Amino acid sequence: MEKRNVLFIYCAFLTLQSICGLHRSLKYYETIHSTHFQHRILKRGIHHSYHPYNRISELEFYSHGRHFRLILTPRREVIHSNFKAYEVNADGNEKTVHLDYTLNDNSEEDDTETDNSSSRVKRQTETYEYTPTKTRCPLLLVADYRFYQEMGASSTKTTINYLISLIDRVHKIYNDTLWQEHQEEDGFKGMGFVIKKIVVHSEPTRVRGGETHYNMVREKWDVRTLLEVFSREYSHKDFCLAHLFTDLKFEGGILGLAYVGSPRRNSVGGICTPEYFKNGYTLYLNSGLSSSRNHYGQRVITREADLVTAHEFGHNWGSEHDPDISVSGSYLMYTYSVSGYDVNNKRFSPCSLRSIRKVLQAKSGRCFSEPEESFCGNLRVEGDEECDAGLLGTEDNDSCCDKNCKLRSNQGAVCSDKNSPCCQGCAYMPAGVKCRDAQYATCEQESRCTGASSECPRSPPMKDGTGCLERGQCRLGKCVPYCETQNLQSCMCDTIADACKRCCRMNLNETCFPIDQQDILPDGTPCIQGFCNKGVCEKTIQDVVERFWDIIEDININKVMRFLKDNIVGAVIIITAVIWIPASCVISYIDHRRVKESEKKWQWKHTDELIHPDEPRQVIYVGGQRQQRIQHVMHQS
């Protein structure tokens, strides 16, 4: 029996700021124009290259009375060696965004599972007995034209960088998770994601009459319909998961939708799923979607966007929703919105760990890939490499590093400009050159090169008491939140009356309380059941889970027994309901009938129309005066 799970998220990870109504969300803000930026490419090789690994950028701007200097380098851990990114126009024509390249992929697709059903059954049995060795879920990320315009500022590269950074943060949540059946038992970890392809739609897709496309011009979409249309794409079958990013505002506060994975062999939905046929279409249900705009028309902030996508991936990997846990905050898979501040907000509950563990053991071997070995050209110095100048270096065009990732020592190179911040012109920078600015967010002072190394020394901590983020203070090199500076713990009040006030608690097991009744959180701040609006925590709509059952196809007693075993609680409830609901109706009917008969009998014996108190016979009115009828009956008797 196959089961397809569809999960709706009526969660509102709501935002502190909005491009549409910035003045309503912030008390003070400054607008940064493009003319305020100083942007330059650093440490470029002899010849220009468009490959992202070779575009290390420095960005400087001045805002809020401070000078910002950012060193921008591409994310590498979540990039597949065969990574490709395309810009797609209205006619569906793809244009490569950067220099296309091909490297050997050490992973192999397990085609035997689709060719031989018996081997599929055997492997399914074995998957419950070993730890997965393929630990990376290759992703297809798709940005529609709305996301491209709003979140990517109509820039393909900006859109791609945003998605890579988002997945990098989500990957860390999954990669650091220990998937275990029980806390006292051993588990496995290191399961995560790798981006294999990104598709960015720069224009709405042109469609013919009667056709439907997920990127077409359309004012409103039903979120279920949108995901179903997106799931028709044939290319999804080549990936572990396909995810659509949009800027649509859905009804009911929906921010995400995903098909739920299952450990059962023939089930559809989630990772590594077989195709599914519906209404004449072939659907690939290894898919999900996320929106960057809530139902109030505001953008979700970065932290909340991360949690939305991580939540959706959690459903794809096989997790259901979690109940509310007050201690340490709600878990990642909680039905309602979470703020991201509590400890549990980025963690999976024990129930989710068990569910996902079963799915990973059963299906990861089908579509996951093995972690890639180090290779020359990924801009990371690994193994016996002395340097790595990226794809530019493999073209033998870098002045410090050759194509074999070795320093050009015969030309006097002692370091690589591409790999070391205190290296310039293949030599160490002089002592005293600033290599890192002060960082108030992390309470770090500026750092300067030593003149004897190509690496930037560790930044010394700022003095204790220096102000940092969220009214916090620097202590021992860390930014301590406001509550902790008062020897309390930061938390979110779980009562509606205090949900939008700044709250602290004495310790982990104590109740949160407002530190100041007048200290109201800004509008849009996440609260216990939604977001703050004028000091009131407005409730968001709960997730709705809709399931599709194919109960006719491929039914046998073994599958029925296994289903009952895997769903013992639900099976007991259903069987009990099937027996007791009809029985209760019958018992209720019999009791009701007996009560009516008893009442009728009592009324008969206590009426004043009896012929004689000792006789059960009663006068029945037929017509005429009462006195005449009584005489008639008595005479008859």
Whether 227 and 179 map to the same domain: the answer is yes
DSSP state of 495: S
- Judged on CB neighbours under 10 Å (0-12, 13-18, 19+), 617 is exposed
User: 10 pLDDT band (50/70/90 cuts)?
Assistant: very low
Here the CATH number for the domain that contains residue 249 is 3.40.390.10
- Cite the annotated binding site by residue number: 311, 315, 321
Asked which of 356, 372, 388 is the last residue of a domain, the reply is 372
Ranges 63-67, 115-119, 355-359, 470-474: which has the least confidence: 115-119
Of the candidates 79, 97, 81, 98, the one whose C-alpha atom is nearest the C-alpha of residue 89 is 97
CA distances for 553 relative to 1, 2, 363, 435, angstroms: 6, 8, 22, 65
Whether 367 and 326 map to the same domain: the answer is yes
Averaging pLDDT over each range in 49-63, 352-366, 378-392, 603-617, which range is the top one? Answer: 352-366
Residue 42: predicted pLDDT = 46
Average pLDDT along the chain: 76
Whether 310 and 394 map to the same domain: the answer is no
CA 171-175-177 angle, to 5 degrees, is: 125
CA distance 421 to 430: 12
Whether 218 and 330 map to the same domain: the answer is yes
Whether 193 and 84 map to the same domain: the answer is yes
- Cβ proximity of 109 and 345 under 8 Å: no
Whether 192 and 276 map to the same domain: the answer is yes
Residue 595 lies in a domain: no
What is the domain count for the chain? Answer: 3
124 pLDDT higher than 70: no
619 pLDDT higher than 80: no
Residue 214 lies in a domain: yes
Give residue-wise pLDDT tens across range 419-468.
889 999 999 999 999 998 888 878 999 999 999 999 999 999 999 999 88
Whether 355 and 411 map to the same domain: the answer is no
Beta bridge partners of 256: 9, 290
Residue 496 lies in a domain: no
Give residue-wise pLDDT tens across range 275-313.
888 888 889 999 999 999 887 778 888 888 899 999 999
Strands 79-88 and 94-96: antiparallel
Question: Is 372 a residue of the active site?
Answer: no
556 pLDDT higher than 80: no
Pairwise pLDDT comparison (369 vs 115), residue with the higher score: 369
Residue 394: predicted pLDDT = 58
Residue 605 lies in a domain: no
Residue 473 lies in a domain: no
- Cite the annotated binding site for Zn(2+) by residue number: 311, 315, 321
**Domain of 303, in residue numbers:** 76-103+132-372
Q: Which residues contact 253 (CB under 8 A, 6 or more apart)?
A: 10, 11, 12, 294, 295, 540, 541
Residue 35: predicted pLDDT = 63
Residue 101: predicted pLDDT = 32
CA distances for 423 relative to 70, 222, 409, 444, angstroms: 18, 54, 14, 22
Whether 416 and 327 map to the same domain: the answer is no
Whether 242 and 359 map to the same domain: the answer is yes
615 pLDDT higher than 50: yes
Residue 24 lies in a domain: no
Give residue-wise pLDDT tens across range 214-256.
999 998 899 999 999 999 988 899 999 999 999 998 887 788 8
Ranges 32-46, 274-288, 539-553: which has the least confidence: 539-553
Whether 358 and 414 map to the same domain: the answer is no
Q: Which of 312, 372, 386, 444 is catalytic?
A: 312
Pairwise pLDDT comparison (76 vs 170), residue with the higher score: 170
Whether 146 and 184 map to the same domain: the answer is yes
Residue 620: predicted pLDDT = 54
Pairwise pLDDT comparison (550 vs 368), residue with the higher score: 368
Averaged pLDDT for residues 389-415: 83
CA distance 492 to 319: 25
Residue 339: predicted pLDDT = 65
Whether 408 and 365 map to the same domain: the answer is no
Asked which of 428, 455, 472 is the last residue of a domain, the reply is 428
Residue 268: predicted pLDDT = 87
Residue 636: predicted pLDDT = 41
Averaged pLDDT for residues 268-280: 87
CA distance 159 to 153: 8
Residue 192 lies in a domain: yes
User: 407 pLDDT band (50/70/90 cuts)?
Assistant: very high
Asked which of 402, 428, 454 is the last residue of a domain, the reply is 428
Residue 340 lies in a domain: yes
